[in-house]
Chains A and B, each alone.
Chain A
Amino acid sequence: MDQDSTTPYSPANRLRPRSPNIQIYRPQLTSVLSIVNRISGVLLSVCALGLVIWLIAAAAGPQAYAVVREGIASWAGRAVLFVATFAFFMHLCGSLRHLIWDTVHGFSLRAIYLSGWIVFAASMVLTVAAWVTSAWIRR
């Protein structure tokens, strides 16, 4: 809501500015992992549509399935799948951390930071492990 520029200026009817929040507040492990958990959740919801497309193609017949399979096997398809795998493990580990918090454990600042870095490291390890395992199975 802006002031009407035709009325004379008066401090009394002036709208107070709001001090900046997200624009200046320093990113910390706490806030970054929170937003990552949310973004990964949104990403996984979108990827669920991809899963449906894949299943519909499988039900529709070999030709449709071949098209989708080609898309997934492409360079871009693999990149999306890799990011989705990471998002999956990030969301899984982050949610487990939230489950532990719901039992009122792990609230010391040290525990918050330790569990935060563990979630991040575990998600990376699990993502790589999932891809290595799948490559090894298809060998």
Chain B
Amino acid sequence: MSRQERETFVMIIRSPEQVPRFTMLKRFPLPRNFGVSRNSRIARGRAWPVLAGAVRVKAFDVYRYDPDSPENPRIDTYHVDLDDCGPMVLDALIWIKNKIDPTLTFRRSCREGICGSCSMNIDGTNWLACTRFIDDTDNTAMIYPLANMPIIKDLVGDQTHLFAQYAAIKPWLRTNTPEPARERLQSPQQRSKIDGYYECILCFCCTSGCPSHWWNGDRFLGPAVLLQAWRWLADSRDEATAERLDDMRGTFRLYGCHTILNCTRTCPKGLNPGKAIAETKRMMLEHRD
């Protein structure tokens, strides 16, 4: 059996990079437009023709929404010539934009998984389009924007609320001791406490994949922001631990997390928001009055 075939039957996922090829259900058994507002219902769009001369062709179903027309979102089907296109899903989207439909809109920048711009829902899970191989997608690849976002256009979601939540945890070094003459020092051991947390690129794959944030996103901070909160709680130089914890008390901000762990499953940087939140909950217990 090849590596790909073996992975098909894997039950124990070891790394979020493993693509969920074998799950009994591709989506929860719910009506397509279950609980969806009237203007969010998705219609069947157009199927764009295969370009002449293409031999190896793969179909992509892409979520489209045009704010300049009164129409609802729709799913367009494009056929990508794999012999003329790079290996990644982002390459396919850029190929579509260049060769078929210049109106297709998406965010992208670094094309190497460090800027976090091209996060989107690929075959039902959130990932960066630039680090997902086309070969690892389903036969008709499904490309949606990050789940549960107000849509500006096509694959571009409005992240204003998410960044407002990020700002709410005051994600900077807060101190009250006098500033030292040189920088604030940290031992290698103290520095290692933020390993696995400082690498977050704020692509919001985790927050957009969290059912708890879907239902209570107005009050629950979500895994990305809580991982950032822990990054500052764990930093030996930060002196606002008590204030940071006080800001997260209440029923939802931190405790909206029910340890579903879709976040840890989906993080394209291999980080562990679920663990960061558990660490925060434990620290909260240690600091109770």
Name the residue in A17, A34, A104 with the highest tally of chain B Cβ atoms < 10 Å from its Cβ: A17
Q: Complex formed: what's the CA distance from A114 to B209 in Å?
A: 21
Q: A20-B36, A34-B211 are in contact. Are A112 and B30 (CB under 8 A)?
A: no
A34 CB contact (under 8 Å) in B73, B145, B152, B260: B260
- The A/B interface has a contact count, at CB < 8 Å, of 151
Inter-subunit contact B214/A22 (CB<8 Å): yes
* Cβ distance A139 to chain B, nearest Cβ, rounded Å: 37
* Cβ distance A35 to chain B, nearest Cβ, rounded Å: 8
Q: Does A138 sit at the interface, judged by CB under 8 A?
A: no
Inter-subunit contact A9/B70 (CB<8 Å): yes
Inter-subunit contact A28/B149 (CB<8 Å): no
Instruction: Give the interface size bracket for B toward A.
Output: 35 or more
Q: Complex formed: what's the CA distance from A28 to B262 in Å?
A: 8
- Taking CB atoms, residues of chain A closer than 8 Å to B32 are 23
Instruction: Give the interface size bracket for A toward B.
Output: 35 or more
- Taking CB atoms, residues of chain A closer than 8 Å to B13 are 29, 109-110, 112-113
Chain B: CB-nearest residue to A29: B13
Q: Does B104 sit at the interface, judged by CB under 8 A?
A: no
- Taking CB atoms, residues of chain A closer than 8 Å to B25 are 26-27
- Contact indicator per residue, chain B 122-145, by CB within 8 Å of chain A (1) or not (0): 011100000000000000001011
B34 CB contact (under 8 Å) in A15, A23, A28, A30: A23
- Contact indicator per residue, chain A 36-55, by CB within 8 Å of chain B (1) or not (0): 00000000000000000000
Interface residues of chain B: helix, strand, loop or mixed (majority):
loop
Q: Does A24 sit at the interface, judged by CB under 8 A?
A: yes
Q: Does B245 sit at the interface, judged by CB under 8 A?
A: no
Q: A31-B260, A98-B259 are in contact. Are A23 and B36 (CB under 8 A)?
A: yes
* Cβ distance A15 to chain B, nearest Cβ, rounded Å: 5
- Taking CB atoms, residues of chain A closer than 8 Å to B63 are 19
Chain B: CB-nearest residue to A105: B278
Can you name 22 A-B pairs with beta carbons within 8 Å? Answer: A14-B67, A17-B73, A17-B151, A18-B37, A18-B151, A19-B147, A21-B211, A23-B27, A23-B28, A23-B33, A24-B144, A25-B27, A25-B124, A27-B27, A29-B13, A101-B259, A101-B278, A104-B278, A104-B282, A109-B14, A112-B265, A117-B11
Please name 12 further chain A to chain B contacts, defined as beta carbons within 8 Å, in addition to the given A23-B34, A25-B121, A108-B272, sorted by A numbering: A17-B37, A18-B36, A19-B146, A19-B149, A21-B211, A22-B214, A24-B27, A26-B123, A27-B23, A30-B262, A109-B15, A112-B13
Which 5 A-B pairs have CB atoms at the shortest separation, nearest pair first?
A: A26-B124, A107-B275, A17-B40, A21-B148, A16-B150
Please report A residues at the B interface, Cβ cutoff 8 Å.
1-3, 9, 11, 14-31, 34, 98, 101-104, 107-110, 112-114, 117
